[in-house]
Amino acid sequence: MAGVSDKTVSRVVNGEPNISVKTRTRVEDAIKALNYIPNQAARMVRNRRSGLIGLITDVVTTTPYSVEIIRGIQDRVSDARQNLLIANTSGAAEQEQKVWRTFQEHRIDGVLLATMYHHEIAFDPAERSLPTVLANCTARGHPDVTAFVPDDYQGGATAARHAIDCGHTKIGFLTLNPSILAAKLRRQAFEDVMSAHGVPIRADWIRPAYLGDVGHETICAYDVARALLDVPTGERPTALLAGDDEIAMQCIFAALSLGLRVPEDIAIIGFDDFRVISATVVPPLTTVALPYYEIGFRAADRLLAMLAGQAVATGVERLRCPLIKRDSC
């Protein structure tokens, strides 16, 4: 119908370069008119590639905070004219093993493994026959495994430095679950920046805002923040750093319940830039953004480069967490 060779049609279907706009349009019009769909099974036999990228997640696909990782992955995989097969394990090791087996049975070209929060996971590349890149996690004991994670230390330092630059020297910190790697890195950054600037650290002003084990926590940020603020003016912090934006929102509520103004009486800085909260609370929240979209996009880009046989860097890459200035500090 297009009046060209089979090879030219193949090149158009596969997105190859150096085809004239006129020829490409003619072939694409014929494809549309005929409702032509390439035979993926035949392609697999011919080039030994499925054109499928597998994505294993714990609860990323159902968690609003980190779903941007998925969007970044999807955009890059789509750009490469590949297909994405997503499997959500709910964090169950047995389910993850089943997913790996399914991916191998379907001859998945490569795997992206993404987690809801930044932490180390049990991953041994010697046990996996598929090229794999990690997103938002690292492989325990295998620093050479390619992974993209947020630079939580840099983000924590940025938040603390911004509070100090705004003139605050009495700064409290409501943390994530202390057992989480991100919480440890951000707290260390907070203490290092405070010490470097000669600002006193009050241990009683550093408190966890969640209770319980990871994945089963309950937030107690409102009560913790209210306890810190419900004291005479000279005895309370003038700024609170929050482990995430949900904590920061609870801090704003606690301050308002005490008749305190944000940021005039108490400044508040969040972490995540979860915009359902950060851009809609009053006042809009100054926060440190987690680069979730970039993590997903970069991880997918690296995997595609590996599959193309390109020489790529291995190991862990930490992506910068930028400060988003709004009105709460």
**Secondary structure class of 290 (helix, strand, coil):** coil
State residue 155 phi and psi, 5-degree precision: -65, -40
CA 210 to chain centre: 20
Q: Return the pLDDT at 49.
A: 62
Q: Return the pLDDT at 54.
A: 94
Cα distance between residue 228 and residue 225, in whole Å: 5
Rounded to the nearest 5 degrees, what angle is found at the Cα of 186, between the Cα atoms of 183 and 188?
105
320 C-beta neighbours (distance < 10 Å), count: 12
Q: Are 278 and 326 in contact (CB under 8 A)?
A: yes
Q: Return the pLDDT at 92.
A: 84
Cα distance between residue 304 and residue 110, in whole Å: 8
Token pair belonging to 224: 């913790």
- Please provide the DSSP assignment of 163-189 as one string: HHHTT--SEEEEES-TTSHHHHHHHHH
39 C-beta neighbours (distance < 10 Å), count: 10
Cα distance between residue 238 and residue 235, in whole Å: 9
| pLDDT tens over the chain, length 329 residues | 999 999 999 888 877 888 999 999 999 999 999 988 776 555 555 556 678 999 999 876 556 667 899 999 999 999 998 999 999 888 788 888 899 998 888 889 999 999 988 999 999 998 888 999 999 999 999 999 999 999 999 999 999 999 999 999 999 999 999 989 999 999 999 999 999 999 999 999 999 999 988 777 899 999 999 999 999 999 999 999 999 999 999 999 999 999 999 999 999 999 999 999 999 999 999 999 999 999 999 999 999 999 999 999 999 999 999 999 999 99
Q: Tell me the C-alpha to C-alpha distance, in Å, between residue 172 and each of 47, 59, 224, 241, 296.
A: 59, 31, 11, 6, 32
Cα distance between residue 313 and residue 83, in whole Å: 24
Q: Return the pLDDT at 62.
A: 58
Q: Return the pLDDT at 61.
A: 59
> Cis peptide leading into 263, omega within 30 of 0?
yes
Instruction: Domains for the chain: give ranges and CATH numbers.
Output: 6-38 (no CATH), 47-150+292-320 (3.40.50.2300), 152-289 (3.40.50.2300)
Q: Return the pLDDT at 33.
A: 93
